[in-house]
Amino acid sequence: MKIVVKENGYLLDYLYTHLNMPKKRIKQYLTHGSIYVNQQKITQYDYPLVVGMNIILDTNRLGKDLPFDILFEDDYIIVVNKPGGLLTIATSKEKEKTLYHMVREYLLQKNRSSKIFVVHRLDRDTSGIVLFAKNEKMKCQFQEHWNEYVSLREYVAVVEGNLPTSSGRIVQKLKETKTNLVYVTKKEDGKEAITNYEVIKENKKYSLLKIWIETGRKNQIRVAFSSLHHPIVGDLKYGGVRSSRLYLHANRLKLYYPVLKKEILFETANPSEFKKIMSE
């Protein structure tokens, strides 16, 4: 998490004033060397701040043994980087090997009265940013105002082949079969799905894409590129070649956070596998 200093002050007091986070937790981050000012690790509570300085809060350092990175956490929400191949929530066949269960266990280790609520989810094989609420009121507020609060949902993907245009907007209507396969339809009862893309890099076999969506339909991105005959690498469900993973990652989420009364951008680096496959 990055913060730009807008008024002179001292580090601990400034963070306590500008973050909705207990002072005890901020002290933990300082003690564990998780806070950087202008790229320098700072543990001093009364470190002097000057307007224009950049503060980086590395929330990952307190959860190094977890199978996911913590991008942000306070008393109301926790934002994590979900690994590919992990369910967001339980199904009838799988109850415990889920992101929800792991995040819940992490929170319970710190506070036995902790609760967690699903705000949105990603497909099992898609990696990237997922937000959970720590109370039901916050969950309901996000879900009821999701389209209003969220200003950017961005992904990075590797698809087979080279697209005919360097950018585009894919508008489709989607339906789902009884076997949970999503497909494109021309019928009016289909749900509208809008997917935008821009080619970042190409090689002879693949294209690396930046993707941002205007709707949040199930399997929307996967179906969009499959329908263009350029399926996402590793997407066996929608015609992609077999690979070590599904090459789809939710790397940026920008939304209005009602607790802080401002927009926050959460982002992650592209997975290392994406860089490797594009260098082949």
Strands 77-82 and 262-267: unpaired
Q: So what's the pLDDT on residue 58?
A: 79
For the cut 80, the answer to whether the pLDDT of residue 24 exceeds it is no
Helix or strand or coil: residue 88?
coil
Report the percentage of the chain scoring pLDDT > 70: 96
Domain that holds residue 112: 66-144
For the cut 70, the answer to whether the pLDDT of residue 154 exceeds it is yes
Average pLDDT, the chain: 92
Number of domains in the chain: 3
Q: So what's the pLDDT on residue 112?
A: 80
Chain-centroid distance, C-alpha 175: 25
Of the candidates 115, 144, 173, which is a domain's last residue?
A: 144
State how far the Cα of 45 lies from the Cα of 35, in Å rounded to an integer: 11
pLDDT classification of 122: cutoffs 50, 70, 90: very high
State how far the Cα of 79 lies from the Cα of 152, in Å rounded to an integer: 15
CATH at 106: 3.30.2350.10
For the cut 60, the answer to whether the pLDDT of residue 61 exceeds it is no
Of the candidates 37, 61, 85, which is a domain's last residue?
A: 61
Q: For the purposes of burial, counting CB atoms within 10 Å of the CB of 222, is it exposed (0-12), middle (13-18) or buried (19 or more)?
A: buried
Q: What is the pTM of this model?
A: 0.76
Q: So what's the pLDDT on residue 92?
A: 72
CA distances from 2 to 10, 29, 149, 215, 249 (A): 17, 14, 20, 28, 21
Report the percentage of the chain scoring pLDDT > 90: 77
Q: So what's the pLDDT on residue 59?
A: 67
For the cut 70, the answer to whether the pLDDT of residue 98 exceeds it is yes
What mean pLDDT do residues 194-211 have? 97
Q: So what's the pLDDT on residue 81?
A: 95
Same domain? 167 vs 236 = yes
Q: So what's the pLDDT on residue 32?
A: 67
